[in-house]
Structures are given as C-alpha cells and as structure tokens.
Amino acid sequence: MIHLYDTTLRDGSQGEGVVFSVEDKLLIIKALDQLGIHYIEGGYPGSNPKDVDFFKKAQELELKTSEIVPFGSTYYPKYQPEDDPNLKALLDTGSKTVTIFGKTWKLHALDVLRVSPEQNLAIIRESVEFLVSNGRSVIYDAEHFFDGFNDDSAYALDSLQAAADGGAKCLVLCDTNGGRLPLEVQDGVKQVKDKIDLPVGIHAHNDAGVGVANSVLAVQAGVTHVQGTFNGFGERCGNANLSGIIPTLKLKLGLDCISDKQLQLLTQTSRLVSELANLPHDDRQAYVGRSAFAHKGGLHTDAIRKNRLTYEHIDPEKVGNEQRILVSEQAGRGTILKKIEKEYPDRDKNSPEIIALFERMKEAERQGYQYEVAEASFELMTGEIFGHYHPYFQLVGFRVIVEGASTIDMKAEATIKVTGPSGETAHTAADGDGPVNAMDNALRKALEKFYPTLKKVRLTNYKVRVLDTKAGTGAKVRVLLEASDGTDWWGTVGVSENIIQASWEALTESLAYKLYKDRSLRSSSQN
C-alpha cells in the first residue's frame, strides 16, 4: 500500500503566484478527500492568522479518507521542546498526526541552526520524542537528505536514526534542492532501507526536471509514502507532481494507492487546484492536461480512430480526461453522461438532451467558459436542457456607478430592477465597496422579499482571469464566484468583454442555484 501525502496547501502555496484563501483550502481538502489522498498537509499552524483560522475550520470537516496534518520544524535551539512555540502550535491543532522537518546536512546544522552536529541529532530526537509523548504520530521530513547523504552518508543516516529513536512512524527523504538525479535517489533509498527498519517516504522537488521520476524510482526502491503537490506547484521550479505520480503508480506499476473510481476524479481535481490558485491549467500536463489525449489531423487522427492504443498510452477516461479529435470534435458525450448519470440514469450518449448539452458545453468552452469549479453553472445549464430549471427572476435592467475624488474614497452604487416569480417588480438600489459588492447588495435587497432563504447565502470568493492577454483592456474575461449557504459550497462562472457583465452573470447564477438546490431537496424529500 502506497500512502499519498499532498502538500499543495503548504509547499505548493509557496510557489510564485500561488495564493489560496482559507475557503480555497477547504474546497481543495474536500476534493482531495474524495480523490482518496491519505494525508493533506495544511500549513504552519500559528505562523499567521490565516493559517490559525484555517486549522480551526479544517477540524470541523467530516472527511472519509484524508487526515489533515500540520507542518512544523524541530524545536529552536534556544528553547526546550516543551517551551517551543512551534511544537506547541502543532499540538494545539488537535491533529493526530503531525509532520516536522529537521536538518540532515551538516552544512545546515553548522551554518543555519548554528549548532554542533551532535546537538542537531539531539534536537531531532527530542522534538520527535516530545510530540510522541503527547500522543501524536510523527512523520519526520529529513530536509536536504540526498545532499546531506552525498556529503556525509554516515551523518545523514545518524539523523534518520535520531528521528527513529524518538518514535517517528515514517522517515521522509527530501530532495529539497531538487537537483539529485533518479539513480542517486534510488541508491540512497536502498541504503536507508538496508539500515533502518521503518517506513520510508520521498519528498522531491523539480529543479532538475525529474521530480516525478525521482518519486517513482524511490517507490520502486521500497518507499511506501509519497509526497507531492498537484500540478507541481511549489517553490522555484516546483514539487513532484501528484497529478503524474498517482496514475503512474496505479496504472503503470499496479500499486495500490487509490481506487479505480477515485482515479477518475484526478483530472477534475487537478483543474480545480489550478482554478482556485487563479492560474491557467497546463494543457500539456501528463495525464490531466487538456492536450494529453488530443489528436490533430494526418496519420495520428486516422490511426486513433481505428485503434486508440496507437497513440494513447492509457484510456483517458481512467483519469477522468477525454480523447479529443481536434479536426472534428466527436468525443465528450460519454464524460457528460457519466457526470449526470445519477440524476438522469435512463439516458444514453445518443439521447437528444445529452447531444444538446454536449453542443452547448462545447460552444460555451469556445467562448471561454470553464466548469471544473463552476459546478453550479453546469447544473443550471443541465437542468434547463432537461426541462427541470426555469428562471426564478428576470432582469429588467441594472446600472452601476463608481465615483470618488481619489482611489481612497471611491464608492460604488448599483440600481437594479427585476421581476419576481409572479411577475411582481422590485426596483432597488444599494451601495458597496466595489461594483460587484454593490450589485450583490442590490440584487439581494430585491430578491430576499420573494425568496427569504437567500439571506443565508454569502459570497466567499471572487476571481477574474483575462482570457486573451493580447487584447489589452478590451480582453474577454472569465469571472468565478464561490458562494456558501453555511452547509454547501458552490461555484458559478460568467464570461464577457465587460467585467461587470461577466460578474453579473456569475452572481445571478449563484443565487439562482441556491433556489434550484432547495427545490431539488424538497422534491427528493417528498418522494
């Protein structure tokens, strides 16, 4: 059994341009739990108010597979373990398992910690021992293991033994600088396995472009715990990419890590992480990229139509992706059918509704819409095509004014006129910190008298992505809104050259989805 350890929320968020809000992190945790990831590293507890808030909220989640793990270091030399604020913060999270890192390379002990090699070993052992004595299972990350092993193999092994003596349950060998090559990593793992009788893990960075290869060869050498990030996010050139590691372990090596059904969630999970990071998803990423199973013209297209094995190394559906014939787009209905089969089990790929939904989605994607994290927009579109969703309100018109003498005191005001469920008209105005906030306030003011349940809905995130950077300020933009009613979370999407129009589309669909969801729940309970 291979245990998968995701560090996207900690190591991944240290990558340039990667930022996750607390709400983003909670959404990612839910997705990783569904995928079957065993450990999810949440970050440094106590390092900043956002992480403190995150760990409080994360402990309230009901997870089926995953365990949330806080991350920290061995105690600082000026403290004793019981007085160290870092170790105390780990305990305060209440997590059963914690991860700490310590110095493996003498260079770091001498030049960074400014302690003797012997004192460094004591710090490692005593830190692990303190956490274990307080009822925690400890995963020990041996920072810079392979560099330290190359410099002084005996000392590197001594540092691992110190963690083992302290009671660590797993020793993770880190290629922190990301510069070691696969055969070096494989040899290091084998020597550790020969010397120490504990489960061993791998944590690889990608500075030499071999993070995934190092992780896979480490597993072949006996590692049973694999750390990485989704889409390879991380400092410098990033971490080993779990989007590539997981299917390689399962489909190429036949190793038990997640189920076949969970593996089908891989692509959507990878895209979700990119979207929440507000970064474009890498189309050419192995397994999960949009181009991973795309074929364009000539001999390839002819061959793939006769036998897909000619130019595809796996069935894309196994990882939740799809084959794409770029000259004539024929694939995709099976994926849509699978997505909605629970709600509409009596349809097949040739049902008129499935064909219509497929065509609508393809046209929407051509215009710039993406539904990986906008499930609510997709559900509304599906409900409309199947005749189950009808608009709960109609826009008569709206106006947004932004004014101010300077950027410091700028204010926004929105005026909105809508018709309700029985044709009643509501005409309201509201202020806001910005145009979207003003629209939200005015729309709620108008609709809450028709639909009081909308008072529970709050917007939790708002993101804008420019779809055509060459068009400058006239570019089409995609707006992603996330909302919650305190029980569920959902996302909606809008696209337009006008950012206000795109925001309006996402905003109205966000409120409409709440009403649609509530009606569906009532119908289910009545049946």
**What is the reported pLDDT for 408?**
67
Q: Looking at residue 426, which CATH number applies to its domain?
A: 3.30.160.270
83-128 per-position pLDDT tens digit: 999 999 999 999 999 999 999 999 999 999 999 999 999 999 999 9
Pair (496, 409) in one structural domain: no
Find where tokens 């910190």 sit.
Answer: 433
CB 400 within 8 A of CB 392: no
Residue 340 lies in a domain: no
Pair (515, 427) in one structural domain: no
Residue 463 gets which letter from DSSP?
Answer: E
For residue 58, the SS3 value is: helix
Pair (263, 401) in one structural domain: no
- Across all residues in the chain, what is the average pLDDT? 91
Pair (9, 79) in one structural domain: yes
**What is the reported pLDDT for 244?**
98
293-350 per-position pLDDT tens digit: 987 655 666 677 678 888 899 999 999 998 876 533 333 576 677 678 778 888 888 8
Q: What percent of the chain has pLDDT over 70?
A: 94
Q: Looking at residue 381, which CATH number applies to its domain?
A: 3.30.160.340
Pair (367, 410) in one structural domain: no
Pair (51, 198) in one structural domain: yes
Q: 118-140: b or e for each residue (b if 16 or more CB lie within 10 Å)?
A: eebbebbbbbbbbbbeeebbbbb
**What is the reported pLDDT for 301?**
62
Residue 78 gets which letter from DSSP?
Answer: T
Pair (357, 430) in one structural domain: no
Pair (226, 372) in one structural domain: no
**Mean pLDDT (whole number) for 152-180:** 98
Of 430, 450, 470, the residue at which a domain comes to its end is 450
Residue 345's region, left for phi above 0, alpha for psi from -120 to 50, else beta, is alpha
**What is the reported pLDDT for 302?**
67
Name residue 17's amino acid.
Answer: G
Q: How far apart are CA 122 and CA 166, in angstroms?
A: 10
Which is it for the CA torsion 174, 179, 183, 187, positive or negative?
negative
Residue 250 lies in a domain: yes
Residue 304 lies in a domain: no
**What is the reported pLDDT for 328?**
30
Using the predicted structure, report yes or no on whether residue 48 has a pLDDT greater than 80.
no
383-442 per-position pLDDT tens digit: 999 999 999 999 999 899 988 766 667 889 999 999 988 888 999 999 998 899 999 999
Pair (101, 151) in one structural domain: yes
CB 374 within 8 A of CB 480: yes
Residue 157 lies in a domain: yes
CB 244 within 8 A of CB 252: no
Using the predicted structure, report yes or no on whether residue 513 has a pLDDT greater than 90.
yes
**Mean pLDDT (whole number) for 454-473:** 85
Least confident of 22-26, 67-71, 392-396, 471-475: 471-475
Q: Looking at residue 141, which CATH number applies to its domain?
A: 3.20.20.70
Pair (399, 470) in one structural domain: no
Of 244, 276, 308, the residue at which a domain comes to its end is 276
How many structural domains is the chain composed of?
A: 3
Residue 303 lies in a domain: no
Residue 214 lies in a domain: yes
Pair (72, 133) in one structural domain: yes
Q: How far apart are CA 126 and CA 83, in angstroms?
A: 12
CB 141 within 8 A of CB 203: yes
Find where tokens 């990071």 sit.
Answer: 277
Beta-ladder partners of 425: 419
244-266 per-position pLDDT tens digit: 999 999 999 999 999 999 999 99
Q: How far apart are CA 91 and CA 326, in angstroms?
A: 53
Residue 87 lies in a domain: yes
Using the predicted structure, report yes or no on whether residue 351 has a pLDDT greater than 80.
yes
Using the predicted structure, report yes or no on whether residue 192 has a pLDDT greater than 90.
yes
Pair (218, 360) in one structural domain: no
By residue range, what is the domain housing residue 439? 393-450
Query: Kind of pairing, strands 67-73 and 458-466?
Result: unpaired
**Mean pLDDT (whole number) for 212-227:** 98
Of 245, 276, 307, the residue at which a domain comes to its end is 276
Q: How far apart are CA 92 and CA 60, in angstroms?
A: 15
State the pTM of this model: 0.73
Residue 297 lies in a domain: no
Residue 239 gets which letter from DSSP?
Answer: B
Query: Kind of pairing, strands 3-6 and 225-228?
Result: parallel
Using the predicted structure, report yes or no on whether residue 164 has a pLDDT greater than 50.
yes
**What is the reported pLDDT for 406?**
66
